[in-house]
Structure 1
Amino acid sequence: MKTHLPITLVFILHSFFILQAQNFEIDTQLFASGLNQPLGIENVGDSRLFIPEKPGTISIVNANGSVEPTPFLDITNLVTTNGERGLLGLAFHPNYTTNGYFYVNYTNTSGNTVISRFSVSADNPNLADENTELQLLTYNQPFANHNGGDLTFGPDGMLYIASGDGGSGGDPGERAQSLNTLLGKILRLNVDIAAPYIPNNNPFVNDGDNQTLGEIWAYGLRNPFRISFDSANGDFWIGDVGQNEIEEINKVTQNPAAVNYGWRCFEGNSTYDDTSDCLNSFSPHTPPIIDYTQTNGRCSVTGGRVYRGPDFSNLTGVYIFADFCSGELASIDSSQNVNFTTPTNGSSFVGFGTNDTNMLFVADIGGSIYKIVDNIALGVHSQNDTPAITITPNPTQSSFNISLLEDYAQVEIFNISGQQVFQKRVNKDEEIQVSNLAEGLYIVRIISPTGKHSVKKLIKY
């Protein structure tokens, strides 16, 4: 079913050697820890960071990195968290300082998506009123995966919602290309008008077809995991998780309406579905700005942000994103050069955000928030020159070995929720037993005696 479009040798070589030409080196510095599966980072124009957490809470991190003991919001009783479900997104109204409104995207106890508005407490800025929920939109999720979940306000004041294709694999319901479902889409709401909150200038409101849904702004997405607007020019960026081969980053200038991003007819720049349904009815699509293959442990893109912070001028205008499986950060510069790097700290990156001065941070689902830094500007050297390490067999049913180059290493294994399920000092050639682990995807972190580390994907069956 899959055929690949040619990729030029120039692009491959340029992507591989670009590190030598860059004048920055992205890394992380620990800012806060002790959080419960953080998925994102937001601010309200002051020094606090608001952290949505998968189980259904929002925590506040202060300017010194301390975490407020009481969550800003706790709706764990409303939220389902198995698989890719949970409290997945948070956005504050542009006029939050005057109206106190904020919006969340969560999976309810029936497994379906809910977009709701809450209000801050009238007498405590660090506490929301859990009794103020107003549901703006709900829609069914046929499977537990591909919920999407992000939401953000655009420069136009509209609320944008990232919706996955409904799950399973390969979009079996062909939902992403259908305008009769909200799945596999970017949705756009005007939260300042009456229900159903659909702006009159959404592209399918007055299209003459009563089957198309007015909430849709763009379509053709598989699992858009993190969306963002460039604060300098309004460009719209999407990290869309691929099927079995290709991850992609999408970018459109000024965020035009009715963009078709291509799934499931295309996975990245490669044909995924060459059947007549796609060939005969597929409308012109906008290809990704870059795509990359699921090699070197990479398997799940986390969309990021364009750096507009005050600290590292060489990063200005650079789009910084991550791969959840490999534990790498990555960058796209103005010439669309791509570079992957393994940071000193953190691995399971799931969301980016800024503080009130545009400092950029990244969330690790294991419980930490890291500040994005430029090692060259700081005058420090990278510690991430660990030679290639392999895991065999992979997939495995009961055990595996690591090709350690030193006598021993610290080995940590995490499930896809960021929970540590194994930790041990492992000797060279020692077999690691995992027969007690459930089937699924795991992240293996290997730390050498000198502090160098590598992150690998492990599949247990």
Structure 2
Amino acid sequence: MKKITLCLMSMIYALSFSQDVQLELFADGFSDPLCIRNAGDDRLFIVEQDGAIKILNSDGTTNSTPFLDIDSRVSSGGERGLLSLAFHPNYATNGFFYLNYTNNSGDTVISRFTRSTANTADSTSELILMTISQPFSNHNGGDLHFGPTDGYLYISTGDGGAGGDPGNRSQNLMDFLGKMLRIDVDNTANGNNYAIPADNPFVSNPNALDEIWAYGLRNPWRFSFDSDTNEMWIGDVGQNTTEEINRVPVTPAGYNFGWRCYEGSNTFNTSGCPSAGTLTFPVVEYPIPPCFCNVAGGQVYRGSTYSDIFGVYIFATTGNGEIGTVDSSNNLVNQGNFNNGVWVAFGEDINKEMYIADITGSIHRVQGSVLSVTEFDEQKASITPNPASDNLNINTSNNNTINSISIIDLKGSTLLSEQNILVSDKNIDVSFLSKGIYLVKIEISNNTTTVKKLVIN
């Protein structure tokens, strides 16, 4: 596979530790991919802007038949289209998944569909939950995620467009636009195909919509949850000067992120605005000029392959191919331009390994530079011969049994994986490996892991 190597630019905002991001091409041939999701197995689901969802398999192949195709219902182009996908937490049982798309009238639709087979969905099963009027074609927001602890569906909406939010829709609590909404899709109430979570912040407030979880957003194109910390990260696109990233705990709710009163931490239009002390300002912001490069919010890496980027938030900027990182102390690092890619969305697989979509048609795997090692102990296992060419023997000390064996290349790709071995002496055929250096990861029954360097002649 083609590899894109890291090219660091001279401008580095802050650096608290070494964290090198690299990209590896995983698959291409997609039409305007905008969203990457997994459904609890080893497949990835790629959402295309014109209304199709494709299944990308773990070997990098794509199914010839789309999982779903609703292009006749979708108005696509610019900031419109099939924008996001979220699988129900119990998808394996109920087959429900949810879409955010722009209909042929230009309005936002949030709807539920149902799986028909393992690899296809029923296009006639649509149940519309919400239709949100859009006054203009831009600033639709467009993301969907289920909360990792509460199981509610979160929906990001933009301010409706037209520049500057002239109607101040983001601050208007009687308007769905410029908000983060939260609904209960497992129940119905008040004639809707959903219910309102009892702890939504404006429940029973006659001057606010019950669905609102947070407000004061301009165009939250992509947001994500870090399930390890129960925090939400939001990339909010700026107006003239500033792109921003917000990071907040899921509890409490009712945040006001400040638009249109403030753009980032800069005053924009404070007429009729609340006190700045009541607002939630971004944890990271960066200037738009000289490049008009919108933030594409990413997610926190929680995979097990790379230790240097574990717990690091990774995001992108469209328009200049750049990728950035934010560490746990909110230090921002510009990782540089990656092959001038038009990066629009991040996603993760079942193992929490991260991927990024280039709207020109490709999906790349996000990598760090330091492979994770749970524990290293020379005495727990031995591998012979080393160097090897055809066969490898793995033997443990003290008659401990081997649970699993993996062989990993220096890019972090797993080339061999054997599970439930349950013997203390194991021979493995390694004749398929090319000459070079590899890592052998051995998980042993006494709850330890040994990693050995293997040389193939």
TM-score (structure 1 length as normaliser) = 0.75
Amino acid at match of 2:87: F
Q: Which residue of 2 aligns with 1:351?
A: 345
- The Cα shift of 1:82 comes to 2.7
Q: Which residue of 1 aligns with 2:210?
A: 214
Amino acid at match of 2:319: C
The structure with the largest alpha-carbon Rg is 2
Specify which of 237, 252, 257 is matched with residue 256 of structure 1.
Answer: 252
Specify which of 65, 81, 85 is matched with residue 80 of structure 2.
Answer: 85
Amino acid at match of 2:350: D
Q: Which residue of 1 aligns with 2:92?
A: 97
- The Cα shift of 1:256 comes to 2.1
Q: How does 1:118-267 map to 2 (within 5 A)?
A: 118-121=113-116, 124-155=117-148, 156-194=150-188, 195=192, 196-207=194-205, 209=206, 211-267=207-263
In 2, Cα distance between equivalents of 1:340 and 1:262? 25
Q: Is the CA contact (8 Å cut-off) linking 2:321 and 2:338 kept in structure 1?
A: no
Specify which of 70, 74, 98 is matched with residue 75 of structure 1.
Answer: 70
Specify which of 52, 61, 79 is matched with residue 47 of structure 2.
Answer: 52
Structure 1 residues 115 and 76: alpha-carbon distance in aligned structure 2, compared to 1, 3 A threshold = same
Q: Which residue of 1 aligns with 2:299?
A: 305
In 1, Cα distance between equivalents of 2:308 and 2:257? 30
1:126-184 deviation line (CA, Å, top 9, x unaligned):
10000100000111000000000000000210000000000110001100000010000
- The Cα shift of 1:320 comes to 0.3
1:2-60 deviation line (CA, Å, top 9, x unaligned):
xxxxxxxxxxxx983645x5322112100010011011110011110001110011111
- The Cα shift of 1:296 comes to 4.8
Q: Which residue of 1 aligns with 2:399?
A: none
Q: Which has the higher strand share?
A: 2
Q: Which residue of 1 aligns with 2:366?
A: 372
Task: Name the Cα RMSD after superposition.
Answer: 1.9
TM-score (structure 2 length as normaliser) = 0.76
Q: Is the CA contact (8 Å cut-off) linking 1:28 and 1:346 kept in structure 2?
A: no
In 1, Cα distance between equivalents of 2:253 and 2:354? 28
Q: Which residue of 2 aligns with 1:116?
A: 111
1:93-149 deviation line (CA, Å, top 9, x unaligned):
00000000000000000000000000000xx21100001000001110000000000
In 2, Cα distance between equivalents of 1:15 and 1:252? 27
Matched, 1:23 2:18: yes
SS at match of 1:302: strand
In 1, Cα distance between equivalents of 2:11 and 2:172? 35
Q: Is the CA contact (8 Å cut-off) linking 1:240 and 1:303 kept in structure 2?
A: yes
Specify which of 287, 296, 300 is matched with residue 281 of structure 2.
Answer: 287
- The Cα shift of 1:249 comes to 0.1
SS at match of 1:142: coil
Structure 1 residues 22 and 288: alpha-carbon distance in aligned structure 2, compared to 1, 3 A threshold = same
5+ residue gaps, structure 1: 1-13, 381-461
In 1, Cα distance between equivalents of 2:13 and 2:233? 25
Q: Is the CA contact (8 Å cut-off) linking 1:26 and 1:343 kept in structure 2?
A: no
Q: Which residue of 2 aligns with 1:328?
A: 322
In 1, Cα distance between equivalents of 2:127 and 2:208? 25
In 2, Cα distance between equivalents of 1:348 and 1:149? 18
Q: Which residue of 2 aligns with 1:270?
A: 266
In 1, Cα distance between equivalents of 2:41 and 2:290? 40
Q: Is the CA contact (8 Å cut-off) linking 1:15 and 1:338 kept in structure 2?
A: no
SS at match of 2:35: coil
Structure 1 residues 167 and 137: alpha-carbon distance in aligned structure 2, compared to 1, 3 A threshold = same
Q: Is the CA contact (8 Å cut-off) linking 2:171 and 2:259 kept in structure 1?
A: yes
Q: Which residue of 2 aligns with 1:416?
A: none
Structure 1 residues 32 and 154: alpha-carbon distance in aligned structure 2, compared to 1, 3 A threshold = same
Matched, 1:62 2:57: yes
In 2, Cα distance between equivalents of 1:217 and 1:158? 11
Amino acid at match of 1:89: S
1:261-294 deviation line (CA, Å, top 9, x unaligned):
000000001111133x22x677811000111001
SS at match of 2:130: strand
Structure 1 residues 343 and 373: alpha-carbon distance in aligned structure 2, compared to 1, 3 A threshold = farther
Paired residues in the alignment total 360
In 1, Cα distance between equivalents of 2:275 and 2:310? 41
- The Cα shift of 1:197 comes to 2.2
SS at match of 1:244: coil
Indicate the larger mover: 21-30 or 241-250.
21-30
Amino acid at match of 1:257: A
Structure 1 residues 299 and 343: alpha-carbon distance in aligned structure 2, compared to 1, 3 A threshold = closer
SS at match of 1:41: strand
SS at match of 1:176: helix
SS at match of 1:342: strand
